Amino acid sequence: MSGEEPERPDTPSLEKRVTQPGRHVGDRYVRIMRPTGSGIKGHGGRYVATEQTMDRTGRVGHAWDGAVRFLIGKRLHSDAESEERVSVATGLPILASDNISSSAYATEEAMRILAIAGTAALALTMPIALAVVFVLAIVILSESRVIRAYPNGGGSYLVARENHGVIAGLVAASALLIDYVLTVAVSTAAGVAAISSFFPELHTQRVAVGVVLIAVLAIANLRGVREAGLLFAAPTYAYMLAMYGLLAFGLFRIFAGDVPAPVAPPDPFLPEGTAALSILLVLRAFASGSVGLTGSEAVANGVPSFRRPEARNAVITLVLMGTIFATIFLGVTYLATRIGIQPDQSEIETVNSMITRAVVGTGTPFYYFVQITTAVILLLAANTGFTGFPRLASVLANDRFMPRHFADVGSRMAFNTGIVVLSVLAAVILAAFGGSVNALVPLYTIGVFLAFTLSQSGLVRRWRRLRNPGWRLSIVINSFGAVVTGTVLIVVAVTKFALGAWMVMILIPVIVALLYAINRHYQTTQDALVLSGPEQRVPVYAAPVVIVPIARLDRAALQSLAFARSVSPTVKAVHVSTSRASADEFRARWNRLDTDVALDVVESPFRSLVQPLLRYIDAIDKSDDRPITVVLSEFVPRHWWEWFLHSQTAFRLKAALLFRPNTIVIDVPYHYQDTADLARR
């Protein structure tokens, strides 16, 4: 009811005002009566549900609330949204940890491919690393344009949708969704690999450890973006400290003429190699090294997570991220090639671990510091997936391409559905690939380069259309970005196709079709539900025909009959009986009842109750134009486990009638009361 319309005196209201006369003339006063403890505040038809309304009742409810609050923290008020935003210092670990952490394994991934052609081919690692950094510089320059053009976030999906059309947008979104899931799986697997480098016993349990770590990350993210950022800030900066310390010490030793002796891997590749060095192999190594570019799109997608000015803070974070990645990646690659480190074929020890052992010695505190911080940042890199996937899913849900639950904001301002779905998918993929980084990486880079290419080319079209000041330079930058990322995409797709990239190439169109189908469903539903004009009258219906199925004449049945009579004057009770004798007995009992409700008894010699009742309702529906309302009486026992002791016919009928058109089903629950209670009433 709108605030202007006077309420009918019998309309239920949260607030009653009773004027009392007082003892003297002029002493009248108004008593404002409100139910206490409801947790709903406000007056005059405008109310606000306080946090108290969120509290569950009962012992189980209290225990559940307690457990949830312990795990994910206190509920946050909607006004706290701005406080949940991040600065550059906290945004860097949240959104850039994926890209920065890639420096822990990008060198190794390139070396692993080159080593197939023998140890001599490892000399090509540095040129490949330089090529990767060059592509990264192009990507960062182009992504900063994306941020300026779309300061409200949305990233590649929004850019592609606006400039290339819906399908291209969905392709970019699908590619990114896949990429985010793989980010979590790959980063977790790489984190576990870093731990198993100094705890080899964990190698056999890597899937279980990975799944536990994904669960921990999910809980941290359910606590909210800012808290996750604060939690992850220290390890990210610790990793940077460890790596820059390692690089500084390693370079110092090399330039001082004390080149560290190489550490042999536990399971080395054959020195002469198993394949010839070919252009394709070099391209494969470049494609594997390009894994270091993943995560650079997260900043552009997460612009709204930043404090004001969002776009400026995002660009600063993006540039910082690129600089940090590039210096660590090039430094590690230089040390690996200069020292002569070879990758480990069985993935027991990482290249970074061997470099650290060579530079600072095995078992030194600094070695453990580097390994632990590497393991932690690789896990935090998974957090980029947790930041990106739920946000992109919420954008897609708001555009009605994904189920609406993905747009729901949880009690800590996080997109809970996205976080939970991402965790489950990542855990399943991790388990399916046995927790191997090497097996997962080929799937990884396709999505991100596809999204990059679509967004870069989308921006080119945008600049051509808008022709803003400086549009020519922007076109040159983004065209170059599109060509470079498109080339990398083709290289990755071709070289990794047989290794698993084919799965992503099949999955992307499947997800696009799924998103499109979801959108079609929402469109048709909206068309069916939308009001045709701004001013609508509430239709007035004739009183319905009410059918009350009655199994037994008891208190629950009388309650549902009484309710049915209050709804309509046309009420029909129906009893399905399994034999003539029980039908006669029921009618005899009914005749003794003081009621004007007519009764039909349906005999069911095949003992089925639900089907004859449904056919009876069909027959009544055909014979009468008025809408059918079925009033079901449902006995509710005192404890949940007592449900199994009752036949739940009402429940089965409800389920059967749920999809019957033009049928209103009203459930009248009859809660268990002991006989002492009834006697008192």
Partner 1 sequence: MQPKRILVALAGSSADPDVIRLVAWIAKPAKAEVVGIHVIEVRWNLPLDAVMEPELDRGEELLESAKKVADQAGLDLETELLQARDAAAAIVDTAVERKCDLIVVAMPYRKRLGRVYVGRTVQNVYVNAPCAVLAYRQEETK
Binding site for partner 1 (CB under 8 A): 17, 19-20, 22-24, 26-34, 36, 41, 43-44
Residues 6+ positions from 420 with CB-CB distance below 8 Å: 218
Count other C-beta atoms under 10 Å from residue 234's C-beta. Answer: 12
Nearer to partner 1, 46 or 607 (CB): 46
Nearer to partner 1, 14 or 348 (CB): 14
Q: Give dist(CA 176, CA 297) in Å, integer.
A: 9
Nearer to partner 1, 17 or 555 (CB): 17
For tokens 């095949």, name the residue. Answer: 606
Q: Are strands 46-49 and 40-43 parallel, antiparallel or unpaired?
A: antiparallel
For tokens 């894994």, name the residue. Answer: 291
Q: For residue 284, give the amino acid letter.
A: R
Residue 560 sits at φ, ψ, to 5 deg, of -70, -35
Dihedral, CA of residue 326, residue 330, residue 333 and residue 339, to nearest 10: -150
Nearer to partner 1, 52 or 204 (CB): 52
Nearer to partner 1, 16 or 615 (CB): 16
Smallest gap from residue 22 Cβ to partner 1 (A): 5
Nearer to partner 1, 41 or 572 (CB): 41
Nearer to partner 1, 24 or 308 (CB): 24
Residues 6+ positions from 268 with CB-CB distance below 8 Å: 342, 344, 345
Nearer to partner 1, 23 or 680 (CB): 23
| Residue 71 CA: distances (Å) to CA of 215, 224, 225, 418 | 12, 12, 15, 18
Nearer to partner 1, 28 or 74 (CB): 28
Nearer to partner 1, 16 or 472 (CB): 16
Q: Report H helices in 433-469.
A: 437-466
Smallest gap from residue 1 Cβ to partner 1 (A): 15
Q: Give the count of alpha carbons within 13 A of 664, CB side only.
A: 14
Q: Give dist(CA 164, CA 512) in Å, integer.
A: 15
Question: First and final CA of the chain: distance in angstroms?
Answer: 35
Smallest gap from residue 382 Cβ to partner 1 (A): 43
Nearer to partner 1, 15 or 603 (CB): 15
Q: Which residue from 171, 427, 409, 146 is spatially nearest to 302, judged by alpha carbons?
A: 146
Smallest gap from residue 59 Cβ to partner 1 (A): 20
Asked if omega into 309 is within 30° of 0 (cis), the reply is: yes
Q: Give dist(CA 325, CA 133) in Å, integer.
A: 9
Q: Give the count of alpha carbons within 13 A of 308, CB side only.
A: 3
Q: Give the count of alpha carbons within 13 A of 440, CB side only.
A: 29
Smallest gap from residue 632 Cβ to partner 1 (A): 40
Smallest gap from residue 7 Cβ to partner 1 (A): 13
Smallest gap from residue 676 Cβ to partner 1 (A): 25
Contact, 595 vs 560, CB < 8 A?
no
Smallest gap from residue 183 Cβ to partner 1 (A): 47
Smallest gap from residue 8 Cβ to partner 1 (A): 17
Q: For the chain, what is the total number of helices (H) and then of strands (E)? A: 23, 9
Nearer to partner 1, 19 or 623 (CB): 19
Smallest gap from residue 35 Cβ to partner 1 (A): 12
Smallest gap from residue 21 Cβ to partner 1 (A): 8
Q: Give dist(CA 51, CA 112) in Å, integer.
A: 55
Smallest gap from residue 40 Cβ to partner 1 (A): 11
Nearer to partner 1, 40 or 490 (CB): 40
Please give the radius of gyration of the chain, using alpha carbons only, rounded to the nearest integer.
34
Smallest gap from residue 89 Cβ to partner 1 (A): 38
Q: Which residue from 486, 499, 98 is spatially nearest to 291, judged by alpha carbons?
A: 98
Q: Are strands 598-603 and 571-577 parallel, antiparallel or unpaired?
A: parallel
Q: Give dist(CA 479, CA 485) in Å, integer.
A: 10
Joined together, the tokens standing for residue 381 give 């890199």
